[in-house]
Structure 1
Amino acid sequence: MSIQTGGLLKISTIPLSEIRRPIAPVLDLQKIDAMVSTLKGLPEASKTCTKEEAAAMDSQLPPIDVLCVRDQGKTYYFAFGGCHRFQAYDRISQESGSEVQVRCKLIPATRSQLSLYVGSSLDDMFD
C-alpha cells in the first residue's frame, strides 16, 4: 500500500498492454519468480514476502498504483512503481498467450502532474 492510494478501496483492472511504463525497471528475478508462482496458486517466499504471506494473497498480487490521465478524449495509464508485479503479469501473459488484466488503484492526474515524473519528455508520452 502506498501513501497515494492507502485510502482508495476501489481496485480496477486494466489490460497490461494499456499501461505505459516510462522508466526502465531494476529487477530481482527471484522475486518475479515468486510472484508468478503466487499468481499460479503456488505461493513461494521471496526476499520481501514469506510463503505464508504469499499464500494469504489467494493467487493475487497487491494492486499497482497507476496514474490515469485524460487527454483529448482518450485515457492514458502510467505506472512508475510495481516493477516486479508488472514483470510477473507479463510472464503470465506470455505463458498463457493471452492478455492479462492488471489489478490497479487508479490515481486521477493531469498532464502537468505527469510532467513532474517525466519532465520534458511529457509530449512523447501521448499518441
Structure 2
Amino acid sequence: MSSIQTHNLQRITEIPLSQIRRPIMPVLDTQKIDAMVSTMNGIPMASKTCSLESAQSMDGKLPPIDVMVVRHNDENYYFAFGGCHRFQAYDRQAKDKDDSNYLVRCKLIPATERQLKMYVGGSIDNMFN
C-alpha cells in the first residue's frame, strides 16, 4: 500500500510516535484499528478495507504512514495527515507496552512551512510550539 505522494519513495524511516503531530482530528473505525493491532501482534485479522490474505502478507508490520517533515529553527517537525487508523494502532501498541519512544514506520515527505500552511491555514503559528 502506497500513497500517490510516496509511491516512488522506497526508504522507510522509524520516528518516535511522540514526535509526530496530528493537527486534524481523525474519524475512526475501531474495528479497523483492532484488526491492525491484532495483525501487529502476529495474529492477522481482516477488516472492511483489508482482506485476511493481505493482513497475513504484512508479517506483523503495517504499511508506513506518510509524514511531512518541516525544518523550523534548525529542528525537524513531523506532521501526519493521513494514516489515521495506522497511527491509532501504533498509539494503542505504545500504550500497551508503556513505551513513550515507540517507533512508527514512516515515509518522510520534505515540506516547507508554506506547504504546511496549505493544510493548517492560519493555525500554522501554533505548529512549532
TM-score (norm 2): 0.97
SS for the counterpart of 1:10 is coil
Instruction: Give the alignment partner of residue 116 of structure 1, picking from 98, 115, 118.
Output: 118
Please say if 1:31 is aligned against 2:42.
no
Aligned residue pairs, count:
127
For 1:51 and 1:93, the matched residues in 2 are separated by 24
For 2:46 and 2:88, the matched residues in 1 are separated by 17
Please say if 1:104 is aligned against 2:106.
yes
SS for the counterpart of 1:53 is helix
For 2:113 and 2:59, the matched residues in 1 are separated by 36
State the partner residue of 2:19.
18
Unaligned runs of 5+ in 1: none
- Same amino acid, percent of matched pairs: 64
Unaligned runs of 5+ in 2: none
Tell me how far 1:33 sits from its aligned partner: 0.1
State the partner residue of 1:93.
94
Tell me how far 1:30 sits from its aligned partner: 0.2
For 1:71 and 1:101, the matched residues in 2 are separated by 22
For 2:87 and 2:66, the matched residues in 1 are separated by 11
State the partner residue of 2:74.
73
